[in-house]
Amino acid sequence: KAGFLARKIHADMDGKKTPRGKRGWKTFYAILKGTVLYLQKDEYKPEKALSEDDLKNAVSVHHALASKATDYEKRPNVLKLKTADWRVFLFQAQSSEEMESWINKINCV
Ligand code: I3P
């Protein structure tokens, strides 16, 4: 599965609140491949290798949990992703159908 997602980093490893200056929303082209959610700055080009930034932004969704971010009301179609290392991300999809589809795909990994 792939598509555009805006990301907000809510908590860092071990659940620590992400510090100010690193909490902004950023849009990526997201690709779920195996147990990894790759977040690229530009749309996927098969001939282009992943950059160092792309690798840093990749998130393991193995043993992660995705759900609708019902407690976040500032933006629509936002899902919450809790990873196995207790990071928390918010991802805004482009429609509610897209949000549901990402949740299902991530939870079925
Ligand atoms: C954050 C940025 C986010 C905001 C967050 C700010 O600042 O303005 O958009 O979240 O608020 O800290 P920075 O880019 O300097 O990290 P919202 O869009 O959800 O308001 P927060 O600290 O209350 O999460």
pTM of the entire structure?
Answer: 0.95
Q: Which pLDDT does position 53 carry in this prediction?
A: 87
ipTM: 0.96
DSSP-derived 3-state class of residue 55: helix
Ligand 1 pocket check for 24: Cβ under 6 Å: yes
Interval 56-60 mean pLDDT: 95
Q: Which DSSP helix (H) or strand (E) runs through 60? A: strand 59-60
Distance 5 CA to ligand 1 centre (A): 17
Distance 42 CA to ligand 1 centre (A): 23
DSSP-derived 3-state class of residue 76: coil
Reading the block at residue 22, the tokens are: 């690193």
Distance 23 CA to ligand 1 centre (A): 5
CA 4 distance to own-chain centroid: 10
Ligand 1 pocket check for 34: Cβ under 6 Å: no
pLDDT over 80 at 3, yes or no: yes
pLDDT over 80 at 52, yes or no: yes
Reading the block at residue 85, the tokens are: 């290392």
Interval 72-88 mean pLDDT: 97
pLDDT over 80 at 51, yes or no: yes
Cα(2)–Cα(20) distance, integer angstroms: 29
Distances (CA, A) of 105 to 26, 32, 48, 62, 88: 21, 8, 25, 12, 17
Per-residue pLDDT tens digits for 18-50 = 999 999 999 999 999 999 999 998 776 777 788
Ligand 1 pocket check for 23: Cβ under 6 Å: yes
- Which ligand 1 atom is at minimum distance from the Cα of 72? 19
Q: Which DSSP helix (H) or strand (E) runs through 8? A: strand 2-11
Distance 22 CA to ligand 1 centre (A): 8
pLDDT higher at 96 or 14: 96
CA angle in degrees (0–180, nearest 5) for 20-25-26: 120
